[in-house]
Chains A and B, each alone.
Chain A
Amino acid sequence: MSKAPDAPLGARDLPRGRAALLASLAAIGLVVAGTAAAFAYTAGWLSPDRLTPARMVDALSRRGGDPIGHRRNHSKGICFTGTFIANGAGTRLSTAPMFVAGRYPVIGRFAIAVGDPAAPDASGRVRSMAIRIVAPDGQEWRSGMNDSPVFVVATPQEFYALTLASDVDPATGPPDPRAVQHYFATHPDGAAFVEWAHTAPWTASYAEESYNSLDAFRFVDAAGASHPVRWSMRATVPAEAVTQAALAKLGPDFLEQDLRRRLAQGPLRWHLVVTLGAAGDPTNDATKAWPATRPEVDIGTLEVQQAQDEASGPCRDFNYDPLVLPAGIRPSDDPLLPARSSAYANSFDRRTAEAAAWPHTNAAGAAQ
């Protein structure tokens, strides 16, 4: 073989014209350049207007100072550890292993939906709870929930537009409030959220809030049937209305202080309540509530036992990606879910690379 030319494909010994050689070289160049161009297109390098996770997180980072080392949104928070106590009722709806009656460890986080890790707690209209529940077989369920009944936007494009309206241009100072007003005037699907933000009572405690998945998911049962669902962590502590002005007087960190004070007395509990959607209920629009008459199933209790500073706490290095799901829970067609997942990953990649800007401390909780 090394001696004889490749007979059937051969022709190597025949004289080749200059034109044929050039044509071959051109063909090779085209194939290589075409593959490289397809790669560049896929990477978004040829589409400066494509909404990418990086552009989303860039926009979140321009709301008055990039929180280096911290999450780019819900930047101020506190870690907690606890237990999810499943009552078994969830197994009728989903094969998720943490729905089987039993106790499962939880690492979670409370936060306010702001971009500044030093923001005063009274500035956070939206409060959130994130949880990571681990089953004995190693499967995980992560969920990030907000205390508003609906989300403010339906699509990643709307989220981006609203974030841009809240961005601070270092040259021109604080954002023009008219930009946000203009956003809501032109995006009526945000109205239910705005109504809640203006009228819902404020409270002085993470413990008095209920937290909602907002996005829809699908539970898949043992027979393979898929159920559209949303879920809530329902507070067991009665809510006490407080004015925002009164909250501001409690100091910048009253939510963390309140949480620690309450946990010193004993664990705090929430009920995990699953709402079953009916045919026609929107699963792709988190700005729309489902009718209040939809059936609900209480599938267990979250017991929050301890709180830890985030700098040293166990929640710090977890990405509460809403698409980390066990078998038995699937994403719905909600376009916010892939956008949240990809943007959270980008934010996680940034802050884990910036740990030097926010050093880990070895305070209590680091070993949790």
Chain B
Amino acid sequence: MSAAGDRFSPLQRTLHWLMAVMILSMLFIGIGMVSTVAPRYHVLVAIHRPLGIAILVLVLLRLGLRLRRGAPPLPADLPRIQALAAKGSHVVLYALMLAMPLLGWSMLSAGGYPIVLFGRIHLPRIMPHDDALYTVLREAHFALAFVLFAVVLLHLAAALFHALIRRDGVFTSMAPWPSHRGPAPPPALRPAPQQR
């Protein structure tokens, strides 16, 4: 890791929170669209495809930034097992952020579907039209969505653990507000007062 300072860069933090909203939305849109016949079905599918491709573009940018700029070091007193879990879960998160849109794009290709983003804008097929291939890709896309959701929940719990209980600067390193010396964080994001 290069000298990343004690916080992620503003661009890294912006990307993180933007993608947090996008990925959580994608997971809900995805599970919602396969379980409804209501008019929202078409709206959800129409959002799912371009949002997935947007995530693919952003994760490539983000991965590049992460490799170039690195991440702030974890607290020295963090138990070894927690540090390992932190590193491992981030590898899994990056892998899934990259894999899910590629699997979605691939499965639509193998299913013989056009990959429509907006109106006439569509992507080329990246897999041959093949029902067996479609089945494998679709099942992987579906199963990994649950893995991604589970890791996102774990990530959320760990972030709150750092923010509320350990208060060790890990959460602050990715916090959405500008910096220590900048304006105070909004009250809702401030840690709970000591005595209540």
Contact = CB atoms under 8 A, between A and B. Distances in A.
Interface string A177-192: 0000000000000000
B31 A43 contact: yes
Interface string B32-47: 1111111111100100
Interface string B68-84: 00001111100000000
Given A39-B27, A317-B134, 19 more contacts: A5-B169, A9-B167, A11-B191, A11-B194, A21-B165, A43-B31, A43-B35, A52-B35, A54-B35, A139-B122, A156-B38, A323-B42, A324-B114, A338-B37, A339-B37, A342-B33, A345-B34, A352-B132, A355-B135
Contacts, number: 163
Interface of A: 1-3, 5-12, 14, 16-17, 20-21, 23-25, 27-28, 31-32, 35-36, 38-39, 42-44, 50-54, 56, 97, 137-140, 156, 317-319, 321, 323-324, 326-327, 331, 333, 335, 337-339, 341-343, 345-346, 348-349, 351-353, 355
B57 interface: no
A139 B153 contact: no
17 contacts: A9-B172, A10-B167, A11-B194, A20-B192, A20-B194, A20-B195, A28-B161, A32-B153, A39-B28, A138-B122, A140-B114, A326-B120, A335-B38, A338-B38, A338-B40, A342-B41, A351-B131
B129 interface: yes
Interface in B181-196: 185, 190-192, 194-196
B76 A317 contact: no
A44 B45 CA distance: 17
Nearest to B159: A28
Contact of B164 (A27, A53, A324): A27
Contacts of A318: 112
Q: How large is the interface on B (under 10, 10 to 19, 20 to 34, 35 or more residues)?
A: 35 or more
Contacts of B39: 333, 335, 338
A2 B114 contact: no
A51 B5 CA distance: 52
A32 B157 contact: yes
Nearest to A97: B120
Contact of A28 (B72, B76, B129, B157): B157
A16 B33 CA distance: 45
A165 to B, nearest CB: 18
A345 B112 CA distance: 12
B168 A6 contact: yes
Contact of B169 (A1, A35, A51, A319): A1
A319 B112 contact: yes
Given A12-B166, A24-B164, A337-B42, A44 B36 contact: yes
A235 to B, nearest CB: 28
A6 B32 contact: no
Contact of B37 (A10, A23, A156): A156
B160 A28 contact: yes
A32 B156 contact: yes
A317 B129 CA distance: 8
Interface string B119-150: 11010100001111011001100000000010
B138 to A, nearest CB: 6
Considering the complex of A and B, which 5 residue pairs feature the smallest CB-CB distances, nearest first? Answer: A1-B6, A6-B169, A12-B167, A352-B131, A339-B37
Given A12-B168, A35-B156, A139-B120, A42 B161 contact: no
A2 B96 CA distance: 29
A326 B139 CA distance: 28
B35 A44 contact: yes
B157 to A, nearest CB: 5
Given A6-B172, A32-B153, A39-B149, A138 B114 contact: yes
B135 A353 contact: yes
B135 A352 contact: yes
A245 B187 CA distance: 79
